[in-house]
Amino acid sequence: MQLAVFLDRDGVINKTKIRCGKPCPPVNISQLEIIPGVKQSLNALHDAGYLIIVITNQPDVSRGKALKVDVDLINDFLMKHLSIDEVRTCFHDDIDKCECRKPLPGNILNAAKKFDINLSQSFMVGDRWRDVEAGISAGCKTIFIDYKYNEKQPSGWDFKVSSLSEAADLILGIGDTNEKY
């Protein structure tokens, strides 16, 4: 079985714009800005043998605030320029009750089936409660990047960090993996 690091996209890989204390994704490729250190962190994780799978909710498409083609262009750019094995996108909103929309674990479970991933030895890294809850539901170890957003917080997590770089160090055994937050 393979090991994976599942990552949220916005706020973990690329910068978001904060509005009313909440993160908002880029609406097109011209707004895309990779967070410093992300490329190096993904390379190190990939070189260590982890599959890198992005699990992202993009409900602004169903809400009419973003175009699917723009989300696809952003995802394609990330796949081309970063060590990412796959991007799984849910375009639905909560009202659709879709199994692939985080906090439900559908996209993680489907990726695990496709790639024969050992979920209990894999990680879900995210900056919002939905990411962490999806990881918990899927049986992954969870790492919460806490940006102190003005919104609901996860009910629990395995580790709390301040960046993907710090999460990668933890996963690779460079950081302090004995301390649970």
Residue 139, phi-psi category: left (phi > 0), alpha (psi -120 to 50), beta (remainder): left
What is the structure's pLDDT at 178? 44
The question of whether 8 is a catalytic residue gets the answer: yes
pLDDT band at 179 (very low <50, low <70, confident <90, very high): very low
What is the structure's pLDDT at 177? 47
User: What is the average pLDDT score of the chain?
Assistant: 94
CA distances from 79 to 13, 140, 181 (A): 11, 23, 32
Alpha-carbon radius of gyration of the chain: 15
On the question of pLDDT at 80 being above 70, the answer is yes
Beta pairing partners, 87: 54
Q: Of the residues 10, 70, 127, 131, which is catalytic? A: 10
On the question of pLDDT at 181 being above 70, the answer is no
The question of whether 10 is a catalytic residue gets the answer: yes
Pairwise pLDDT comparison (181 vs 23), residue with the higher score: 23
pLDDT in tens, 85-111: 999 999 999 999 999 999 999 999 999
Q: How far apart are CA 21 and CA 41, in angstroms?
A: 27
Query: Collapsing DSSP states into helix, strand and coil, what is residue 113?
Result: helix
pLDDT in tens, 13-32: 999 999 888 899 999 999 99
Ranges of each domain in the chain: 4-171
Q: How far apart are CA 78 and CA 45, in angstroms?
A: 16
Mean pLDDT, range 144-155, rounded to an integer:
94
The proportion of the chain whose per-residue pLDDT surpasses 70, expressed as a percent, equals: 96
pTM (2 d.p.) = 0.94
Mean pLDDT, range 122-135, rounded to an integer:
98
On the question of pLDDT at 176 being above 60, the answer is no
Are 108 and 85 a contacting pair, CB within 8 Å? no
On the question of pLDDT at 12 being above 70, the answer is yes
Q: Which CATH class is domain 4-171?
A: alpha beta
Q: How far apart are CA 4 and CA 172, in angstroms?
A: 12
Which residues in 165-175 are b (16+ Cβ under 10 Å) and which e?
A: bbbbbbbeeeb
On the question of pLDDT at 168 being above 50, the answer is yes
On the question of pLDDT at 11 being above 50, the answer is yes
Mean pLDDT, range 48-58, rounded to an integer:
98
Residue 24, CA atoms < 13 Å, CB-side half-sphere: 12
Which residues in 9-38 are b (16+ Cβ under 10 Å) and which e?
A: bbbbbbbbeeeeeebebbbeeeebeebeeb
What is the structure's pLDDT at 53? 98
Q: Of the residues 8, 127, 131, 158, which is catalytic? A: 8
